Amino acid sequence: MTIRPLVILPDARLRLASEPVGPVTDEIRTLAADMLETMYDAPGVGLAAIQIGVPRRVVTIDTSKDENDRHPQVFLNPEIVWASEEKRIYDEGCLSIPEFYGEVERPDRVRVRFRDLQGEEREIEADGLLATCIQHEIDHLDGVLFIDHLSKLKRDRVVKKFAKAAKRGDV
């Protein structure tokens, strides 16, 4: 397993729509293992493949609090098939926008259809942090960032800050 470099704002790859995964090959298994390693190292609770520069619809998540009791989850081609009317606000972060946080309102509960690493089609109902995280990661697969859910003023401010840092060679 390899820790891979993270793609950081304003890298244009973060705006790509990722391609669906076909059969579960060794390449996909290695990608998922590297994503988990990269996510735990960051540390983060989720990661989309595009965040390590791979435009495929693969997401890893582990929302467990105890690093000695890990619960890694891998979602291939995840899609939301139901979302609750009730909303929840969470102060989100993003490994591609380090040290910036903002409150985002999303559905409180979602039902997600996906394939697992065995190639089996599965559905889960998620709530709490898992629901927030899976929605954040599916946004990544469509080239959407959590800052797109903030006001234009806040978004423009953070994009400008990261563009300046990239120009200086800070990231």
Query: Which stretches of the chain bind ligand K1U, using CB under 6 A?
Result: 43-48, 90, 92-96, 132-133, 136-137, 140
Between 45 and 52, name the residue whose CB sits nearer to ligand K1U.
45
Is 137 in the active site? Answer: yes
> Which partner from the list Zn ion, ligand K1U, none does 72 bind, CB cut-off 5 to 8 Å by kind?
none
* Both tokens assigned to 68: 């000695």
Min CB(24)–Zn ion separation in Å: 24
> Which partner from the list Zn ion, ligand K1U, none does 90 bind, CB cut-off 5 to 8 Å by kind?
ligand K1U
Alpha-carbon distance of 128 to 131, in angstroms, equals 5
Dihedral (CA of 96, 6, 65, 34) sign: positive
Between 21 and 133, name the residue whose CB sits nearer to ligand K1U.
133
3-state secondary structure of 110: strand
CB 15 within 8 A of CB 143: yes
> Which partner from the list ligand K1U, Zn ion, none does 134 bind, CB cut-off 5 to 8 Å by kind?
none
Min CB(129)–ligand K1U separation in Å: 7
Alpha-carbon distance of 92 to 3, in angstroms, equals 23
15 secondary structure, DSSP code: G
Kindly list the catalytic residues.
137
